[in-house]
């Protein structure tokens, strides 16, 4: 019996019917060349045979005196956790995303281990999919992706690979800061923990907050802690989810970044900013002030492996600007300014400033008392993925799409990952708060083409 950490316990407390707290991934595979007509059915049976999962997939919750523990489920039922399903005709990606949207809206059963896996057939073009969701108290988004990747192989001829729940992990990976919006809650906890160490950073934090506030008053493109405007994204949510996903060739983003002399992540933010601008215009809900994105960034300047050098920055998405090149300039400037600020700070000061920026959101998630305290409107996370093609029992992985968490007052999460030469975007949002959210995919393509034209690439 193992007690949950305070942060993991917090993920359980935050969960409600309107706010499921699981993360997921959608993997799209193509059939092996020698696959027969019953390939997926046979694959489903072979997966079902792995009915004795390894930790953490064999652990269920046990609560005593308000404290939750993990204990082994002695009555594990594979049929509850593993589902074999088929899409309705015509079996397009549209039907696949609709199925994932519905499944991601459903809460996991707390009387059982907190995960499900759905093997989905009937997809056009001799393809099948695997949708796997795990509660955030069990694993974070980055660790979940790594677990999924460990279950695959770079060898197309390798067979007899077990499913993820039966794949023995080398170690449980959990990052101190994740690409998940719930990092806001963790930030609030860090800000109040270890007070003696925090006090030493107070002068530097006060100086940085003062400078951020003063600069924001003189420069409308500058981002301060409480600059994010009210938008339809920042409303109370329901439990209904809509998931949208799309793949893009990384070379398109790299070509634009080379012309404008900026990073690939700058282009990602610019394209997302364009998509959000067009979507909000279509809803007659574009704020006069620019949307602010919370973006996890890697601050490491070398190839060392030790330590955690990830911070959260607030990026101006320039949604108030019509010209794509000018919008990119504003985004690039806001990101560079944040990185320069961090370069002048110690690791402890960086961690605590990040926690301070996340604290208003964490406070609202916990209490709901100050919805007008808003550091950011949307989360945009870019998680590095595998650089070589992967296979599962001969089936080639064609695409992998992160399915994250929408939170109260943060109704949209944009997470993307890289896979070989692709960028895989996953949008998750509240279906009722953000109507016709799937149009963001069309607006994303339009934003990418706008920048290609501005860069004279089209």
Residues designated as active site: 136
The whole-angstrom separation of Cα 286 and Cα 276 is 9
- Nearest in space to 59 (alpha carbons), one of 74, 45, 73: 73
- Contact of 445 with 278, CB cutoff 8 Å: no
Q: What is the DSSP letter of 125?
A: T
Is beta strand 292-298 parallel, antiparallel or unpaired with respect to 378-383? parallel
3-state secondary structure of 246: strand
Other beta carbons within 10 angstroms of residue 453's beta carbon come to 12
- Strand 412-419: give its sheet, edge to edge: 241-249, 422-430, 412-419, 378-383, 292-298, 310-316
Helical segments of 28-92, H only:
39-48, 78-81
State the angle between helix axes of 202-218 and 347-367 in degrees (0 to 180), rounded to the nearest 10. Answer: 70
- Contact of 292 with 314, CB cutoff 8 Å: yes
Q: How far is CA 433 from CA 61, 95, 278, 405, 408, in A?
A: 32, 21, 17, 14, 10
Q: What is the DSSP letter of 176?
A: S
108 phi and psi angles, rounded to 5 deg: -80, 150
* Count of residues in the chain: 458
State the angle between helix axes of 6-14 and 183-192 in degrees (0 to 180), rounded to the nearest 10. Answer: 130
Is beta strand 241-249 parallel, antiparallel or unpaired with respect to 127-135? unpaired
The burial of 372, by beta-carbon neighbours within 10 Å (0-12 exposed, 13-18 middle, 19 or more buried), is given as exposed
């Amino acid at each position: 019996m193992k007690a949950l950490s305070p942060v993991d316990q917090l993920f359980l407390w935050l969960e409600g019917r309107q706010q499921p707290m699981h993360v997921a991934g959608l993997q799209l595979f193509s059939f092996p060349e020698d696959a027969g007509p019953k390939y997926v059915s046979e694959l489903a049976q072979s997966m079902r045979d792995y009915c004795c999962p390894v930790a953490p997939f064999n652990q269920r919750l046990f609560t005593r005196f308000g404290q939750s523990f993990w204990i082994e489920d002695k009555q594990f039922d594979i049929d509850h956790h593993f589902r074999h399903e088929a899409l309705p005709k015509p079996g397009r990606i549209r039907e696949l995303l609709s199925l994932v949207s519905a499944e991601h809206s459903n809460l996991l059963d707390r009387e059982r281990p907190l995960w499900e896996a759905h093997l989905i057939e009937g997809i056009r073009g001799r393809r099948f999919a695997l949708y796997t969701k795990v509660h955030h108290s069990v694993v974070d988004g980055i660790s979940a992706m790594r677990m999924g990747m460990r279950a695959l192989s770079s060898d197309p001829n390798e067979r007899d690979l077990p499913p993820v729940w039966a794949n023995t992990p080398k170690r449980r990976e959990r990052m101190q800061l994740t690409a998940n919006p719930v990092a806001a809650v963790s930030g609030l906890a860090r800000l109040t923990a270890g007070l003696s160490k925090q006090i030493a950073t107070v002068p530097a934090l006060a100086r940085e907050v003062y400078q951020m506030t003063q600069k924001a008053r003189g420069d409308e493109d500058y981002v301060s802690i409480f600059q994010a405007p009210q938008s339809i994204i920042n409303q109370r949510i329901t439990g209904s989810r809509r998931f949208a996903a799309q793949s893009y060739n990384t070379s398109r983003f790299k070509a634009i970044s080379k012309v404008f002399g900026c990073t690939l992540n700058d282009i990602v933010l610019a394209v997302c900013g364009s998509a959000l601008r067009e979507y909000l215009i279509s809803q007659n809900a574009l704020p006069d002030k620019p949307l602010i994105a919370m973006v996890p960034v890697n601050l490491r300047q070398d190839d060392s492996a030790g330590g955690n050098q990830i911070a959260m920055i607030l990026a101006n998405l320039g949604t108030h600007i019509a010209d794509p090149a000018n919008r990119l300039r504003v985004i690039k400037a806001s990101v560079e300014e944040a990185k320069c600020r961090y370069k002048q700070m110690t690791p402890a000061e960086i961690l605590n400033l990040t926690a301070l920026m996340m604290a208003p959101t964490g406070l609202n998630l916990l209490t709901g008392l100050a919805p007008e305290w808003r550091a950011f409107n949307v989360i945009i996370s870019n998680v590095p993925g595998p650089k070589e093609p992967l296979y599962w029992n001969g089936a080639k992985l064609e695409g992998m799409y992160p399915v994250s968490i929408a939170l109260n007052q943060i109704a949209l999460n944009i997470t993307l990952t890289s896979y070989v030469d692709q960028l895989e975007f996953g949008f998750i949002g509240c279906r009722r708060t953000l109507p016709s959210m799937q149009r963001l995919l069309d607006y994303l393509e339009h934003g990418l083409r706008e920048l290609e034209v501005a860069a004279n690439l089209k």
